[in-house]
Amino acid sequence: MDSDTENLEKQFSSRLLLRHASQNSLDESSQKHIPRSETKHKLPYRNPQHFPRAFDNLNLMRRQSQLCDVVLVADSVEVPAHKMVLASCSPYFHAMFTSFEESRQDRIVLQDIDGSALQLLIDYVYTAEVLVTEENVQVLLPAANLLQLTDVRDACCDFLQSQLHPTNCLGIRAFADLHGCLELLSIAESYVEQHFCEVVECEEFLSLTSQQVIKLISSDRLTTPSEEKVFECVMSWVGGDLPNREQYLAELMEYVRLPLLSQDYLIQRVEEEPLLKQDTQCKDYLIEAMKYHLLKGEQKALFKSPRTKPRQPVGLPKVLLVVGGQAPKAIRSVECYDFKDERWFPVAEMPTRRCRCGIAVINGKVYAVGGFNGALRVRTVDVYDPTRDSWSSCASMEARRSTLGVATLNGCIYAVGGFDGSTGLNSAEMYDSKTYEWRMIAPMSTRRSSVGVGVVSGFLYAVGGYDGASRQCLASVECYCPESDVWTSVAEMSARRSGAGVGVLDGLLYAVGGHDGPLVRKSVEVYNPDTNCWSPVADMNLCRRNAGVIALNGLLYVVGGDDGTSNLASVEVYNPKTDAWTLLPAHMGIGRSYAGVAIIDKPGF
């Protein structure tokens, strides 16, 4: 029994020695028959829960004051902590505990920091979580700045950016400037410029200093429909504390671009302002503006002054708005296409069903003019405010019009032709957004329903349509001059087109699709006013009539319509540089024909 045991031990020992030798010998021949594992490719064991668990335990120890070696004090708030943990998370504490006398102290009073903010930030160091709110952001951000907790500072900046509104953007801009948050400062400044008209109506604007007002109104990037708003905001600011602010009037008026105001406004409003009459420098600015309006053509172009330079706003991101339409009956639905995200999303529906209307944009508001409600041709007008995502109504047209053409020219809305339920119309009318009234203008020479319109170089063009008398679709085109109130005929299209979409791109007028009786077209032609000629361009991918057409950033968008059989949900895009059409990958939620389209600033709701 003992001999057997001894033999087993010798065999086992020899195997161990052999394996040990084979693994450690420098003689390759002793290893060649024994495979070795490739240890260099083995991954180390990693426990993803180790660090969170360790910090959970550290935080528990902190809360129980175990092994804490420092107490931080701010106001009356005392926060126990571990120097090593603080130093590992904050360059501020790292420097304090390695290079300064506080490294030997166990109780440190921090100046210029809010006690509640200190508590939140030390909690963050141990938990990686902090809730930024309206109530704490103004103390949390400067405290995070001081302690060099940049992630928390950035979270505060993101929160403030999400809260930007015309009522608070000036305050957020000042706050960002004070604490050196450069990205937030830039975003807030852009927001103020883009929402200038709303900002100057809020209380924050009236509390600015004269230099702050000057900095604002001197910007080339202000988004404002006219210089009137800049003049009025200056007068409002001065009037807010007249005894103390009147002295700054001339200094402020230097940055109001009076020559860009209309002559009527200069005479009726600016010249009659009592405060300006009393100031010699202000009167000089007014005289400069009057002289500018007396100049003609090349003389005006040569007249150089900081006040004759048009503002060039950067603007908000744009979206494509599609209003109502037939699907297959008149609908209330409105949807937007986000060019950046390449997606469609719904916005507030119209108050009533509406198709075959015209769309115009004035001062950021979208006007849905006339159309058909499923039972009647209407003369009503609904107005969409993208900032509030809501609809309201305004003055109705003189005539009922569906399948009309609508365009904006010189700040006014023109409604052209259409069908009133019994006959095609050659009449046209204009809406003045300042007087809120419609008035008739000269009629066209031809009745035109299903007419397309576009504005090029200050002239309004009425393209094709259907006259109802000859029972033929039209190839003819008329041009309206607002100064003389006269329509004149220009070159005809190469094809008859009723229900053609009309768009303007780079000073050229495009007639897109349409139909001639039962024939629905996919052909497109373009009119050059300088040569008075029409030329063909590439065909669309699909036949379309009654589609919406709009231009943006050098491209022409053709939205929906119908192909003679069904309504279309697709959108085609024309690039004149390549003379090619492409289809947007994202389709509308529903197929629509006779829908209105517009480009607007992306809503912030």
pLDDT, tens digit (0-9, with 9 covering 90-100), for 341-362: 899 999 999 999 999 999 999 9
Which is nearest to 95 in space by CA: 83, 80, 81? 83
Query: Is the pLDDT reported for residue 390 higher than 80?
Result: yes
- Pairing label, strands 515-516, 596-601: unpaired
Q: What is the pLDDT of residue 42?
A: 84
Query: Is the pLDDT reported for residue 114 higher than 80?
Result: yes
Summarised one tens digit per residue, pLDDT across range 412-458 is 999 999 999 999 999 999 999 889 999 999 999 999 999 999 999 99
Query: Is the pLDDT reported for residue 130 higher than 60?
Result: yes
Q: Measured between alpha carbons, how far is 527 from 533 in angstroms, rounded to an integer? A: 6
Percent of the chain with pLDDT over 90: 82
Q: Could you tell me if 477 and 525 are in contact, meaning their C-beta atoms sit under 8 angstroms apart?
A: no
* 253-264 mean pLDDT: 93
Q: What is the pLDDT of residue 119?
A: 97
Please enumerate in sequence order all residues whose Cβ is within 8 A of that of 547, keeping only pairs 6 or more positions apart, or say none.
Answer: 501, 512, 513, 558, 559, 560, 561, 568, 593
* 112 token code pair: 């210029």
Q: Which residues of 194-233 are buried (b: 16+ CB within 10 A; e: fewer)?
A: bbbbbbbebebbeebebeebbebbebeebbbebbbbbbbb
Q: What is the pLDDT of residue 601?
A: 85
Q: What is the pLDDT of residue 38?
A: 53
* 552-578 mean pLDDT: 96
At position 237, the amino acid (one-letter code) is W
* 560-581 mean pLDDT: 96
User: Distances in Å between the alpha carbon of 253 and those of 30, 97, 198, 245, 542?
Assistant: 97, 56, 20, 13, 55
Summarised one tens digit per residue, pLDDT across range 20-36 is 434 443 333 334 444 55
Percent of the chain with pLDDT over 70: 93
Query: Is the pLDDT reported for residue 2 higher than 70?
Result: no
Q: What is the pLDDT of residue 82?
A: 96
Q: What is the pLDDT of residue 39?
A: 52
Q: What is the pLDDT of residue 226?
A: 85
pTM (predicted TM-score): 0.58
* 114 token code pair: 């809010």
What CATH class is the domain 211-302? mainly alpha
Q: Could you tell me if 314 and 194 are in contact, meaning their C-beta atoms sit under 8 angstroms apart?
A: yes
Summarised one tens digit per residue, pLDDT across range 301-341 is 788 889 998 888 876 688 999 999 999 999 999 999 999 88
Q: What is the pLDDT of residue 242?
A: 96
* 355-372 mean pLDDT: 95
Query: Is the pLDDT reported for residue 481 higher than 80?
Result: yes
Q: Could you tell me if 460 and 477 are in contact, meaning their C-beta atoms sit under 8 angstroms apart?
A: no
Segment among 10-24, 30-44, 105-119, 211-225 with least mean pLDDT = 10-24
Is 318-601 in the same CATH topology as 50-163? no
- Pairing label, strands 77-81, 318-323: unpaired
Query: Is the pLDDT reported for residue 551 higher than 90?
Result: yes
Domain 318-601, what fold? Answer: Neuraminidase (2.120.10)
Query: Is the pLDDT reported for residue 186 higher than 80?
Result: yes
Q: What is the pLDDT of residue 31?
A: 41
Domain ranges of the chain: 50-163, 211-302, 318-601
What is residue 259's DSSP assignment? G
Instruction: Pick the more confident residue, 364 or 90.
Output: 90
Cα 508 from chain centroid?
A: 27
Q: What is the pLDDT of residue 229?
A: 94
Q: Measured between alpha carbons, how far is 197 from 549 in angstroms, rounded to an integer? A: 29
Mean pLDDT for all residues in the chain: 91
CA torsion angle 578 581 583 588 (round to 10): 120
* 218-235 mean pLDDT: 93
At position 117, the amino acid (one-letter code) is A
Which is nearest to 480 in space by CA: 499, 502, 460? 460
Q: Measured between alpha carbons, how far is 501 from 537 in angstroms, rounded to an integer? A: 14
Q: What is the pLDDT of residue 263?
A: 87
Q: CATH homologous superfamily of domain 50-163? A: Potassium Channel Kv1.1; Chain A (3.30.710.10)
* 222-241 mean pLDDT: 93
